[in-house]
Amino acid sequence: MNVIETILPGVVIIEPKVFGDDRGFFLETYQKDRYRELAGIELDFVQDNHSRSAKGVLRGLHFQKTRPQGKLVRVVTGEVFDVAVDINPESPTYGEYAASILSDKNKHQFWVPPGYAHGFAVLSEFADFEYKCTDYYDPSDEGSLIWNDLDVGIDWPLDDPLLSDKDKNAPTLKQLRDLRL
């Protein structure tokens, strides 16, 4: 497998080794020792999730406030634009983001360590999105960052996404910082 570092500490793109022929393909989507050694994933996973979203849906940017989750994400069917944002005001990369196209064709994975906001936008007719989490989801602990915060400046490949009410009304990075003071 090939691991590509991004501008955010610990956030990496993983290109797994794919073995294929005219019958189909095989790849490992996770192997604890290899992912620890090559991608730096030291945490154990406790929950796997699978979502399906239609074209134009944008989910995010989400995080958990007191029990942050690391997420190893991939697309089983379709294509998404996947994003991690550094929301730690003490970090030298605060307010910066890393992004990757994940698809069933490229089979890439995106490792988003605990402490980052995460979201994705669906580019294909629909996308099946799977992710392994390092902590349990707790809806009472969830936070959000507005998807189009000008201070972050994510170059989303869509202009008018389909959003949940929660995501439409999420705070900006500055508002999040002010809430923590």
Choose among 50, 152, 48: nearest CA to 99: 152
Is 136 among the catalytic positions?
no
Q: Which residues of 47-61 are buried (b: 16+ CB within 10 A; e: fewer)?
A: eeeeeebeeebbbbb
- Write down the catalytic residue from 62, 97, 116, 118: 62
Q: Tell me the Ramachandran region of residue 175: left when phi exceeds 0, alpha when psi lies from -120 to 50, beta otherwise.
A: alpha
Rounded Cα–Cα distance for residues 150 and 142 (Å): 22
Q: What amino acid occupies position 159?
A: D
Choose among 13, 31, 8: nearest CA to 106: 13
Is 116 among the catalytic positions?
no
- Write down the catalytic residue from 35, 97, 116, 131: 131
Rounded Cα–Cα distance for residues 128 and 57 (Å): 12
Return the active site residues. 62, 131
